[in-house]
Each structure stands twice: as C-alpha cells, then as structure tokens.
C-alpha cells in the first residue's frame, strides 16, 4: 500500500494552508462575532480554484480528483469552520447534483459560473418535519401546462440567500409511486423566480459566518425542463449526493480536529505552571498524544474512503464511517483543547472557543451520527 500523496496534492495542501492562514485566520473571529458572510474571502477562495475542484475543465472546473477536494476542505477547516462550510456545501451540494445528474444544457448554463465563484447554489432537502426522514418531505411540485408549480418550505439550507446565489436544487414530492410511497424529484429553481423566497437565518451557535437560509415556495412556477434528471429519481440523487457530502463533512471534522490540536499544542508549550510548560505534565501530554493518534487514524479512514470513490468502487459504508468517526474525533479533540486552555478556552478571543462551537454541527448535518450508525449497521448486515 502506498500512502504517499501526489506532488500536485502536496502543492494544493500547502497553497490552501497558506491561504487560510493569511486570508481567513485574521478575519474569522470578527466575522463569527458579527455573523457575517464574507464575499471578499469567498471570492478569494474562488480565485484559488476551490469551487469545482473535481469538475471537468469542460465546465470550468479544475479536473482534479475527489481526494484533492477533501484535502482543500480539510485545510480550510483547520482554520475556520464557516469558510469550510461554504466550500463544502458549494462543491458537494450545490455543484455536485448539477454536475452528476444535470442535462448537458443545465451543466453548460450553471457550472462555469459556479466554478468561477460568480454565483453560489443551494441544495434544498431539509424541512421542519423532514430531517433524518428525508422521505417525509412535504414540499410538492405539480406539473401544470409545461411548468412545475412548487409549494412548501425548506430550512437550514447553506449558501441559499446570498446576493450572488443563482438558485437552489429542491427535492419535491411529484406524485405517488406504485408501492404507495412518495415519488421524489429534484427541480432547479433560480433566485428571483416569483413565489420563491429565501430568508437568511441568524442566531446560530456555530458556522456563524456561513450563510444559512429558510426557503419558501408559494405557487412557484418553473419550466418543466428544470427537472434534474429523470422524474422520480430525486431520492436516489439525494442519497448519492449525501455520500459525497459526508466525505466533505468528515474533512471538516478532520481539519477542525487538527486545528484544535495545533492550538492546544502551541498553548501548552507556552503556558507555564509550577515553573515549567504545562505540556510537560503527563496528564496534559497524554491528552495531546491521544489527540494526535485519533487525528492520524481519522485521516486514514477518510482518505481510504476517498480512494475508493476516486477508483469507482463502492464507498457508501466507508463514507458513513468517515463522517461518523471524523466528526466525533473532532468532538473529543476540541473538548481536550478547551480543557488544556483552562479558563482562556472559554473566551472568544481564543480561537479554540469557536472550534468548540463549530464542531457540534458535524454530528448533525448531512445525516446525524445516529443515522450514520444505521447506514453502517445495514451495510454490515446487523439491521
């Protein structure tokens, strides 16, 4: 087995890490405090090529493999979760469904602008009463004289209400299948369409500098050709999208854990008690050793899942494992990091406080830890 990254991947890691330290770290704390989405840093990330990393150059992407995208997300998350969320959601949930399931006309129309960062795109899946139970979606779309008429709402949708959001992919109930279950389809809805409203959400505990929205559809009419892929394929499209998205959430967990570890190690080497750095005390050194070990294990789990994906092998189980493990490794790492900072770890002037808050979303978003365990249990034949 060869665990060596390619020279291109090493260069990518170094360039994204340098960018995150130079452009994001100086502003992350203030943006978090003000709950402000930064168009400036978003455009800089686009100029660095962080949108459409795995998309073919034919549509304006970078044409790299999925592992490269995960490495980039990991390095952004190492500095700030909000910016990593923007990158992860735009690539996995915004660009991904159009790239993998869209018609050639849809790809040509939307992907180049999205890959250049001129526009953002959201993925409308979650509803107030349909989170883990995606089949329980109540948003409907009825075909009427060549137009889909959409009614319903979505919540907790990333990148959906910025000034440059071009639209959202919405999962709707478009009928009833022969077995009595709802027929689900994905439909593209452009911003500014009459009957469609996106409202920005505030008061979040985490990812406060990431754009999160509520979506409302009231007799919203879009052309029939805005259907994404075949009618009734929405659930399968969503599941495939979430498999890839779980890898990006895992990357955020891995990067966040690494960032928290870096902060804790630096602090422990500088902070002195009883005449020596607190890293010299075995109780603290063991915490750092545990963090380093779990981060290394998490990186192997995640990179293996990406290797499977890049080699067109089944990876659904491994994606769930990576998402579950990396998100919970970050939980343990940020908890240790705050403890090692003592009282200072509870203050907003220390970045570790933000890492502690940002972690919680990773156990909930794109499938809770409980759902990941169900997915894994089914794959291993336990359920």
Residues marked active site are found at: 366
**Spatial contact of 255 and 76, defined as CB atoms under 8 Å apart:** yes
DSSP state of 4: P
- E strand segments, 191-231: 196-200, 212-223
Alpha-carbon gap, residue 66 to 307, rounded angstroms: 8
**Spatial contact of 227 and 183, defined as CB atoms under 8 Å apart:** no
DSSP 121-157: EEEE--BTTBSS-GGG---EEEEETTEEEEEEEEEEE
Alpha-carbon gap, residue 362 to 259, rounded angstroms: 15
Alpha-carbon gap, residue 346 to 354, rounded angstroms: 9
In the block, tokens 């455009």 appear at 43
Alpha-carbon gap, residue 26 to 38, rounded angstroms: 13
HSE, side-chain direction, 13 A CA sphere, residue 229: 19
Alpha-carbon gap, residue 268 to 208, rounded angstroms: 28
Angle at alpha carbon of residue 264, lines to 259 and 265, rounded to 5°: 100
Angle at alpha carbon of residue 293, lines to 292 and 297, rounded to 5°: 115
Distances, alpha carbon 198 to alpha carbons 285, 291, 383, in Å: 48, 40, 39
Residue 111's contacts (CB-CB under 8 Å, 6 or more residues apart) are 52, 55, 59, 60, 61, 95, 98, 99, 102
**Spatial contact of 109 and 225, defined as CB atoms under 8 Å apart:** no
Q: Residue 61 burial (CB < 10 Å; 0-12/13-18/19+)?
A: buried
């Amino acid at each position: 087995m060869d665990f060596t990254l390619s020279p291109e991947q090493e260069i990518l890691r170094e360039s994204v890490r340098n960018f995150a330290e130079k452009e994001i770290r100086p502003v992350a704390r203030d943006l978090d405090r003000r709950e402000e989405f930064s168009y400036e840093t978003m455009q800089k990330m686009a100029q660095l090529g962080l949108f459409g990393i795995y998309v073919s150059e034919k549509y304006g992407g970078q044409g790299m493999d999925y592992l490269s995208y995960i490495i980039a997300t990991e390095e952004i998350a190492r500095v700030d979760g909000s910016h990593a969320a923007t990158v992860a959601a735009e690539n996995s949930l915004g660009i991904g469904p159009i790239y993998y399931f869209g018609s050639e006309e849809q790809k040509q129309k939307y992907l180049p602008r999205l890959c250049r960062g001129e526009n953002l795109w959201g993925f409308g899946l979650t509803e107030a009463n349909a989170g883990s139970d995606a089949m329980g979606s109540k948003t409907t779309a009825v075909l009427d004289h060549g137009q889909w008429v959409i009614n319903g709402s979505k919540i907790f949708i990333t990148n959906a209400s910025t000034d440059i959001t071009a639209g959202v992919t919405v999962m709707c109930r478009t009928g009833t299948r022969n077995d009595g279950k709802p027929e689900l389809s994905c439909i593209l809805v452009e911003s500014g369409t009459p009957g469609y409203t996106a409202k920005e959400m505030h008061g979040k505990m985490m990812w406060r500098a990431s754009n999160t929205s509520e979506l409302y559809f009231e007799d919203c009419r879009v052309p029939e050709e805005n259907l994404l892929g075949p009618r009734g394929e929405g659930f399968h499209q969503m599941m495939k999208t979430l498999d890839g998205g779980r890898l990006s959430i895992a990357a955020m967990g891995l990067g966040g854990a690494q960032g928290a570890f870096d902060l804790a190690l630096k602090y422990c080497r500088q902070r002195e008690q009883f005449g020596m750095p607190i890293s010299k005390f075995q109780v603290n050194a063991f915490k750092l050793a545990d963090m380093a070990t779990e981060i290394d294990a998490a990186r192997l789990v995640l990179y293996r899942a990406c290797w499977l994906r890049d080699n067109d092998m089944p990876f659904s189980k491994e994606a769930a494992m990576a998402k579950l493990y990396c998100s919970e490794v970050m939980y343990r790492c940020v908890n240790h990091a705050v403890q090692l900072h003592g009282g200072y770890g509870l203050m907003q002037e220390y970045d570790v406080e933000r890492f502690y808050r940002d972690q919680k979303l990773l156990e909930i978003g794109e499938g809770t830890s409980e759902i990941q365990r169900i997915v894994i249990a089914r794959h291993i034949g336990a359920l």
